[in-house]
Amino acid sequence: MFEFFKEIHVNWLGYRKPFIMVSILILLAGLFSAIGRQITPGGTDAFNLGVDFQGGTVITGKFKNKPAEDDIRNALTNIGINDSVIQSSLDKQDEVLIKIPLIEGESLPTTAPTAPAEGNTVNNQVNQGRQKVIEALNTLGKEVPANADLAGAQDGSYKIVGTDSVGPVAGEQLRNQAIIATMLGMAGILLFIAFRYDWTYAAGAVIAVFHDVLITLAFFTLFQWEISLTVLAALLTLVGFSVNDSIVIFDRIRENLSLHRGESLYKLTNDSINQTMSRTIVTNGLVFLTVLALVLFGGEVLRGFSLALFVGAITGTYSTIAIASPIAIWWQGKLGAAKMNTPETRIDKDKKLASASRRSVARRPVTR
């Protein structure tokens, strides 16, 4: 394998306390930001949840000459809708899906008096969202009635072919399913590493994964980046990325334990991190450059996904050295000390000493 550095002798574990302090400061900053935003009257929510999680309006527009997604997004921003999601249809090249949050404000009159009040409110919000989108699109061209032929319209540029809504209940279900999926993934990782390696390694890897996810969420609440389903996909990708990096170092520690039985676990862990450092630089460096390209050139649609991976790629590499390995050593040290202090161990030690004292001594014949 190609190696950048042949011989590295860095005491990584010696810097574990400063590393952990940095993590604690970032986590506390994210916690204070989330709590402060939530309890401030009239303030923003702890997290900037997207349409997929908090509900919104989905409008399908058909264009004679489809404008660029950035032009549609800018038109919506100019009328006060900042969290829009613009997606081109995959099977119909002239159609665009426009997702916007539910519009809060005065309710429009409804023609369904028998419907529940809550349903009327949602329908009114959807209608307001539709009117807002039409207002924005009219700056790009004139609307054609839905029952008219767009191709035959002389002065028309687009028409609305569909309006749908994602209610807050569906958004809450998606949010709960996202949490369950993440927790089940971490539980599966814990069981696999415990079966394949040891419980101490499993604890270090899972705590490091929690650390990476929480650090990423701390950045999202600090800078109010939007959280959507693509961000959830990035967080699940981050879980696998972080665990993979930890397993590589844990596997090298296990090999060194069998090859150098007289060395301390502290030294073997440092040696293992140094021995795999070239691999870490090559693989994680390529991941970092790829994600950086997504951040710079991916556009608004991939903004949340790329930012989550960008922060996660850095914290995933850092946590393997600063979080997972120190926790594994600490836990093994605690278990080893507890095992040595158990009564059974002391009894076995006393029995060995007693048997050694009763051992018969072979006498050599003395020649006179």
The secondary structure of 58-99 as a DSSP string is EEEEEESSPPPHHHHHHHHHHTT--S-EEEE-SS-TTEEEEE
**What is residue 351's predicted lDDT score, i.e. its pLDDT?**
47
Pick the CATH number of 12-36+170-344 from 3.90.330.10, 2.10.109.10, 1.20.1050.10, 1.20.1640.10: 1.20.1640.10
Average pLDDT by consecutive 10-residue portion of the chain (368 residues)? 68 87 94 87 74 78 86 88 78 82 53 44 71 87 80 80 71 76 79 74 82 92 86 86 83 85 84 87 89 87 89 89 83 58 45 44 48
Task: Locate the domains of the chain by residue range.
Answer: 12-36+170-344, 56-166
Terminal-to-terminal C-alpha distance of the chain: 70
Give the residue among 302, 247, 301, 297 at the shortest CA–CA distance from 276: 247
Enter the pTM of the model.
0.71
Is-contact 69 86, C-beta < 8 A?
Answer: yes
pLDDT of 350: 46
Q: What pLDDT shows up at residue 345?
A: 45
31 Ramachandran zone, left/alpha/beta (phi>0; psi -120 to 50): alpha
Q: In CATH, what number does 56-166 get?
A: 3.30.70.3400
Helix H or strand E segment including 164: strand 158-166
Note the pLDDT of residue 308: 93
d(CA 340, CA 330): 15
Residue 13 has what DSSP assignment?
A: G
Q: Which two tokens stand for residue 166?
A: 């994602």
Residue-level pLDDT at 99: 83
Q: What is the pLDDT of residue 214?
A: 92
Please determine whether the domains at 12-36+170-344 and 56-166 fall in the same fold group of CATH. Answer: no
Instruction: Yes or no: say if 312 and 241 are a contact pair by the CB < 8 Å rule.
Output: yes
Query: Cβ–Cβ contacts within 10 Å for residue 311, how many?
Result: 22
